[in-house]
Structures are given as C-alpha cells and as structure tokens.
Chains A and B, each alone.
Chain A
Amino acid sequence: MTTLIICYGNDLIGNDAFGRAVYEALPEIHEKIFTVQLLPELLEKTQNYERLIFVDAAHGSGDARLYEIHPSDDDTADFHHLGAETFLRLLETLYAKTTKAYMCAGYFEEFEVGLRDGDFGEKAGKAVKLITLLIE
C-alpha cells in the first residue's frame, strides 16, 4: 500500500512545531512531506497514494494519538488552510479518490511562540512509533 505522510504546522509557534518534529524524526524510507498548512495545491500530489497519514498538533490534553479520519465538509475552511477532513472531501470531489486516511495528533494545551511543553519530544517520538506500526 503506497503511503504519504503529510506533516504540517508552524514551527515558530511552540507546540505547533509537532508536525515538523515528527517529520524530521521519521526514517527516510517513508514518503513524507512537510508543509506549514494544508492547501488545495497538495491535492494533485496526494491523489496518487492509497493511504494518507496527516500529522499535526491539536488542542487538548493527552498523549499522541493515531486515528482514522473520513471526508467531511467544513464551512470555515478557506484556501489558506484546510482541515484534514476537508482536504479528503476535496480529494474525493475533484479527483474521485476515496483514500484511507489517518490523523496522528499530538495534544497540547498551549501554543505560545517559542514555548514547547516538556514532553514535546516524547510525544513526537510516540507519534513516530504509531506511524511506523501502522505502516509496517
């Protein structure tokens, strides 16, 4: 099964660098990209994969988690930033692709510039393990 891992976030905004940290920690054997935001332009590339794994920081408490996601509509989406579910909906609408997809989220309470939680690295490491387990 061909898999693309899409890590995203803003590495200047503390814990939002989670996607970047996971991207850098993932072994090179995986197909992976890093982007600041999910944008419609990524649709072209992602249509060629059978499975997508999105990696992002999320607001909340707890460890890194991996779960399946499905296409859905989001009225608040704009072309500067799409949620992963909206991204999947566009993939379905424009390219007739229903792709198996997962979200690997690292949960954090605060997103202050330059400040990262003490367990930031641990959560990123856990995310890498979860992704590797899924793929293997």
Chain B
Amino acid sequence: MKTITIDPVTRIEGHAKITIDIDDNGNAVDAKIHVTQFRGFEKFCQGRPFGEMPSLMARTCGICPVSHLVSGAKAGDGLLSIKVPKTGANLRRIMNLAQIMQSHALNFFHLSSPDILLGFDSDPKDRNIFYLMSKEPAIAKMGVGLRAFGQHIIEILGKKRIHPAWIVPGGVNAPLDPALREEILSKIDEKKNDALAALELFKSKISLFPKEIAALANFDTLFMSMVGKDGELDHYDGKIKFIDAKGNTIAENLEPADYQSYIGERVEDFSFMKSPYYLPFGPEKGMYRVGPLARLNIAKKCGTPLADKELGIFKSYAPTQNASFFYHYARLIEVLYCIEKIEELLNEPDILSDHVRAVAKLNEFEAVGMSEAPRGTLLHHYKTDRNGLIEYANLIIATGHNNLAMNAGITQAAKEFVRGDYGQGALNRVEAVIRAFDPCLSCATHAQGKMGFEVAFRRGGDIVDKKFI
C-alpha cells in the first residue's frame, strides 16, 4: 500500500491536500481531502456585542463575506425580534445575488473552465486562467466582466468591494442612490447575454465528458437547500427541504432555527472541516449535498423567465441530477438567475425608499440566521448574555455540508481514474471533483467542540513537551 498526496489542491479557494491510498496492484482504494488551515471564529467572537457579529464573522472570507453578513444579520434580526422593512430585505437580496454571481463567475471562468475548455489531460502548465486568456480571450473577458459586475454592485451598495459593513441587524444602513440604481440597470442586458453565451458554451461541451460525468462524484445522496414558499429558488429566505437522489421529499418546511433536530455534526481526525449529516439517517446514510446543484434539484422553478427556460433544459438531462459535474451547469443558470432577479428587484416601486432598517433593543438571547451562499446553505447560530454579548456561536458553512460528499467523490474518481500507470490527467480529475463543489475552505474550517491543536514546545531542535489544546 502506498499513498499519493496532491498538495496543494489547485484552483480552489483556500488550502487543502488530497491523499489517495493505492493498493499493491496500483489501484486506488480510498481518498481523503484534508483541510489543513484553521480559523477559530466561533471562539474569538465570544464576549463581543452581537451587533458586531455580521461584520466580524464576514472576515472569515474574502470571497463570500456578503453571505456571512446576511446570515449574521438575520441572526441579529432574530435577537432583536424584529421584521426587516421590505426595501431593506430587498437590498440585502440584491447584494447577496451580486455576490453569488461574482463567486460563480470566479469558479467557472477562472478555476474550472481550463478543464472544460482545454481538457482534463491538457498540459498542467497551460491549465490556468492566464493561458485561457491568451487562447480564448472572448470567454475570459466574459468571466472578468461578470465578476467585475457582481463586485461593482457590492461596492455600489456597501461602499466597499470586500467586507462592506452595510448589512446590519434590522436591515441595511443606507438606502439606494437613484443614480446608482440606473447605473446597474444599464448593464443588465449585456450581462444577461454574457451569461447566456456561457451557458451555450457549457452545453456544447457536455457530450465531451461522459466518463467525467459518470465518475466525478456521481452517486446517490440527499440534497438540501432553502426553498421559497411556492417551491421556487430563493437564496435569502424560506424553509429547509431535503430530497433524496430520486427527487422524493425526505423532509420539508423545516425551520432554520430547528437545525439541530435535522443536522448532525461530527469531526474527522484528518481535517479541520467538520462533517455535517442528515441527523435522522445518521452519519453513514445521512450524506447530503448543498449548493447550486442541490438548489436546482430541489427548486420547482427559478421564477425568472430566462433562468426558468434554462432550468427546464437542465432538468431534461435528469429530473434529479446526481452527477456533480453538473454543478458547473447549475452555477451558470444561477448566474443568469441572479442577473434577472437583480433587475426585477431594482424595478420594485419602493426600492429607493429610505425605510431600510428597523431598530430595537435586544429582545431574545438566542437566534439562528440562514441564507443560501454561493456554495450552499450558510447557518449562523448565536447565544448572548443579557447585555447582548456573545456567549456561544456555531457556524455551519456551505462547504462543510458537502464534506462527506467531497470525500466520497474523490474516492469514486480515484478508483475510476487512478489505476496502474496513471497520468497527471488522472490526478487532475480527482482535483476536479473538489473544484466542482467549489469549496471555500477559509470559510469552512470551523471546529466542533475541542480544538484539534497540538502544540510542541522545542528547546534547540528537541521537542521537550507537547500539549493538546
């Protein structure tokens, strides 16, 4: 038995390594993703005022800080026990959709498209966005443009591209400027066309990858996402729904606040990322997937015309899609949906209202905030003392939900492709499983219970003591 290590995993957000165990015949028998970075946000926020939490917790990530702002602020709304004004909620939605758009564009164009456009077996030195820019400048410009558009909307609303502090418990802290609304609307048609072009490009490539579709994390799991009251795609509000691999409803109308009754959390000894599972089924059978694929499998409709048309085509491949390769496809449909939905929300008659925030004092001592982040369902759970200082925080991050499925996925891919005299393309396919899930590891390294740190004390070159803290 020997172990192959892929370290670091390339073209992902954050730092991780993959190990693949190879038997004496040269065939892969097991694989694991090890998330090797550690954060500890749940601990060091203790003692801070709850009003700081959205901004504080958003610092865990530079890619999806807006999602943390949204979930953190929603937990704050719960602590205040108030209803956010409609315009405030819609402005939060716009910023969240802009972030999903830019994050999805980052994954597809910058990280994953080299595999899809150049091929999994292309020269490793060419499999990157810069080579792609030289070979396919029109596509690269599309990616740069969509990402810049999403970031620009965030900057317009929050006055900062990264870590804006605009979303707060109770709503948002400033209304939308009419001129900036017009500026965003003026670019919508161009960006819709770019999203449609990217979708056509992806669809034209699907038939080239039958082996990858079959073996890159294609298996039966549950799927979980938040869903709107009419079964529509909703990234901001709604109830939790689980379906199985055939699309049967396992549970629905679940309240985010009750998450501990349906999500179990466990830790593995090989990773700082925890492994949630569907609690009623236990850790062995409770593996589920979240994110764009789960959302489109669960949603009956998107609720916007162009995205609904594309959703129909997507579901024609399989009513419930189990191939993780289709995460890319789902991601692009969501990009289109985000653009359409932003346009719809900007055309709401009261979107320029200055009633964007409700104010109250602390009314509850415990609350949960949940939203759909680019990579899946994001949960913030806070408890405070009577002065509103945080005593307990628990985060379940989208990437964490997918941890069990990512490990099963790389094992499946390794068993299929890493055999005998395997090539670099085989290892790239194992990495591509991880890229399909688009993990954001800086977000996702949240420990449950005791922190897994071993500190070695050295004198000279010798270890004189060790402590596990």
Contact = CB atoms under 8 A, between A and B. Distances in A.
B391 to A, nearest CB: 28
A109 to B, nearest CB: 28
A113 interface: no
Contacts of A35: 161
B134 to A, nearest CB: 6
Interface in A31-87: 35-36, 40-45, 73, 75, 77, 79, 86
Contacts of A42: 148
B110 A44 contact: no
A90 B133 contact: yes
A86 B130 CA distance: 10
A25 interface: no
A72 to B, nearest CB: 12
B130 A94 contact: no
B151 interface: yes
B63 to A, nearest CB: 10
Contacts of B144: 40-41, 43-44, 94
B451 to A, nearest CB: 23
A44 B162 contact: no
A132 interface: no
A86 B145 CA distance: 18
Would you list the 7 A-B pairs with minimal beta carbon distance, nearest first?
A: A41-B148, A79-B110, A44-B148, A40-B144, A94-B137, A94-B141, A41-B147
B298 interface: no
Which of the four size classes fits the interface of chain A?
10 to 19
A79 B137 CA distance: 16
Interface in B119-160: 125, 129-130, 133-134, 137, 140-141, 144-145, 147-148, 151
A48 B220 CA distance: 50
Given A79-B110, A93-B137, A44 B130 contact: no
Contacts of B140: 94
A44 B133 contact: no
B106 interface: yes
Given A44-B144, A44-B145, A94-B137, A77 B130 contact: yes
A94 B143 CA distance: 11
Nearest to B138: A94
A40 B129 contact: yes
Nearest to B110: A79
A14 B409 CA distance: 43
A36 B162 contact: yes
Contact of A93 (B110, B133, B161, B162): B133
Nearest to B128: A78
A79 B144 CA distance: 11
A94 B148 contact: no
Nearest to A40: B144
A41 B151 contact: yes
Interface of B: 106, 110, 125, 129-130, 133-134, 137, 140-141, 144-145, 147-148, 151, 161-162
Nearest to B162: A36
A36 B162 CA distance: 9
Given A35-B161, A45-B148, A79-B106, 11 more contacts: A40-B129, A41-B144, A41-B148, A41-B151, A44-B145, A44-B148, A73-B130, A90-B130, A93-B134, A94-B137, A94-B140
A86 to B, nearest CB: 8
Contacts of B141: 94-95
A44 B148 CA distance: 8
Contacts of A79: 106, 110, 129
A87 B319 CA distance: 44
A44 to B, nearest CB: 5
A45 B110 CA distance: 19
A57 B148 CA distance: 25
Interface in A80-136: 86, 90, 93-95
Contacts of A45: 148
Interface centre among A36, A41, A73, A86 (most CB of B within 10 A): A41
Contacts of B133: 90, 93-94
Nearest to B137: A94
Nearest to B148: A41
Contacts of B148: 41-42, 44-45
Nearest to A89: B130
* Residue among B110, B129, B130, B148 with most chain A CB within 10 A: B130
A79 B111 CA distance: 9
A40 B140 CA distance: 10
Nearest to A95: B141
Nearest to A44: B148
Contacts of A73: 130
Nearest to A82: B130
25 contacts: A35-B161, A36-B162, A40-B110, A40-B129, A40-B144, A40-B147, A41-B144, A41-B148, A41-B151, A42-B148, A43-B144, A45-B148, A73-B130, A75-B125, A77-B130, A79-B110, A79-B129, A86-B130, A90-B130, A90-B133, A93-B134, A94-B137, A94-B141, A94-B144, A95-B141
A79 to B, nearest CB: 5
Contacts of A43: 144
A36 B65 CA distance: 15
B258 to A, nearest CB: 38
B99 to A, nearest CB: 13
Nearest to B161: A35
A43 B125 CA distance: 23
A124 B110 CA distance: 35
Contacts of B130: 73, 77, 86, 90
